[in-house]
């Protein structure tokens, strides 16, 4: 089975001519069009980006707007809202020694500095202030959110299947709750 990596997600329609807001997960957001045809997770729907541009909103924020092949009106664009777009992993460029893809982190075991298992990485989020790792605790309880910075994640060992984390004190204190 081909490993697929999520590289973008379609948002709400933009206007009435079939354009959509697009959230790109690539290092250069506008390079999303250079990855070739994208597909849904199982590969049954192929999406081709004809054009993509950056648009400034009223709050000085910007977002991408894309024109997709075969999507000519708002109704067709609405049907694609929230669709996650994937490519086969082999289309991604190789990583440098100190780089990795977020998909490589999912499933890694998280341990503290002493090697005690804390949990498993289940997701990576970006709420606008930087990446956050979501850990499912080894013991029962609510998931932990750890800032994905060198201070809180000082070591990543993809080959070894683990990361070392230093959870914020408040997360460690609340781990047993819930």
For residues 148-169, give the mean pLDDT. 89
For residues 11-27, give the mean pLDDT. 93
For residues 37-57, give the mean pLDDT. 93
Question: Residues 83-136: pLDDT tens digits?
Answer: 999 999 889 888 887 788 888 899 999 999 999 999 999 998 877 778 899 999
Confidence of residue 56 (pLDDT cuts 50, 70, 90): confident
pTM score, whole prediction: 0.74
- Domains, in order of start, for the chain: 4-90 (2.40.30.60), 102-174 (2.30.30.240)
- 3-state helix/strand/coil string of 62-110: EEEEEEECCCCCHHHHHCCCCCEEEEEHHHCCCCCCCCCCHHHHCCCEE
């Amino acid at each position: 089975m081909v490993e697929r990596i999520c590289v973008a997600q379609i948002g709400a329609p933009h206007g009435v001519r079939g354009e959509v807001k697009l959230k790109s997960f690539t290092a250069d957001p506008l390079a999303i069009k250079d990855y070739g045809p994208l597909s849904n997770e199982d590969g049954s729907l192929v999406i081709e980006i004809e054009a993509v541009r950056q648009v400034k909103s009223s709050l000085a924020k910007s977002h991408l707007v894309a024109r997709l092949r075969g999507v000519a009106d708002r109704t067709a664009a609405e049907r694609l809202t929230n669709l996650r777009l994937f490519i086969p992993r082999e289309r991604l460029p190789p990583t440098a020694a100190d780089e990795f893809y977020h998909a490589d982190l999912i499933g890694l075991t998280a341990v503290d500095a002493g090697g005690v298992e804390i949990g498993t990485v289940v997701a990576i989020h970006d709420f606008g202030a930087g990446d956050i790792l979501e850990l499912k605790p080894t013991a029962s309880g609510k998931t932990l959110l750890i800032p994905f910075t060198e201070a809180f994640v000082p070591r990543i060992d993809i080959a070894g299947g683990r990361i070392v984390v230093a959870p914020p004190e408040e997360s460690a204190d609340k781990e047993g709750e819930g």
